[in-house]
Amino acid sequence: MRPPLLIGIGNPARGDDGLGPALVEALQAEPGLEAIAVFQLQVEDALLLADRPAVLFVDAARPGHAGDGVLLRPISAQPDRAPISHALRPEALLAVARDVLGQAPPPSALLAVQGEQFGLGEGLGETTRGRLPQALALARHWLAKAVA
């Protein structure tokens, strides 16, 4: 079996949208974890989920969509209502993986971290950078449970 997978979603050139890749960079050397960064989830990414004990998606969230700023919640396979798009939500990627691989997708969670600025050419904002330690702690806690 392959190790648990962390997928950081986002574009580092678009301000706080780069949060997912920033978490991947911080956790890249974590033992027992494979961590990758993508700009957006695509159908082909379903193959990454095969034979995983667990998958954690990390993404920046718009204000009001991440509780008090950082939210970790389990997710399950749910097809997109508009499957024409080339970009998928994590739940839709799980549904594609189920259909393509012919097996139940691995237990999965979404770690959403509230972003505030998403302008082109900006780096992570100060407020979002301040949320990184909590996000890292939650990701490490998730990893410890995933490999247990």
CATH code for position 23: 3.40.50.1450
Asked if residue 60 is part of any domain, the answer here is yes
**What does the pLDDT read at residue 138?**
94
Q: What is the pLDDT of residue 80?
A: 74
Position 100 in a domain: no
In a domain, 92, yes or no: no
Work out how many domains the chain is built from and give that number: 1
Are 48 and 56 spatial neighbours (Cβ–Cβ below 8 Å)? no
Residue 85 lies in a domain: no
Residue 143 lies in a domain: yes
Please check whether residue 48 lies inside any domain of the structure.
no
Task: Specify the pLDDT at position 62.
Answer: 78
pLDDT at 33: 93
Question: What span, in angstroms and rounded, lies between the C-alpha atoms of 63 and 65?
Answer: 6
Q: Residue 84 domain-assigned?
A: no
**Which range marks the domain in which residue 113 is found?**
5-40+53-79+107-147
Look up the pTM and report it.
Answer: 0.91
Each residue's pLDDT expressed in tens, for the chain with a length of 148 residues: 899 999 999 999 999 999 999 999 999 988 999 999 999 999 999 999 999 999 999 999 877 665 678 889 999 898 876 555 557 899 999 999 999 989 899 999 999 999 888 889 888 999 999 999 999 999 999 989 987 7
Cα angle value 44/58/127 (rounded, 5°): 145
Please tell me what DSSP assigns to residue 106: P
Q: Quick check: is 140 in a domain?
A: yes
pLDDT at 147: 77
Q: Of 135, 144, 97, 141, which Cα lies nearest the Cα of 18?
A: 135
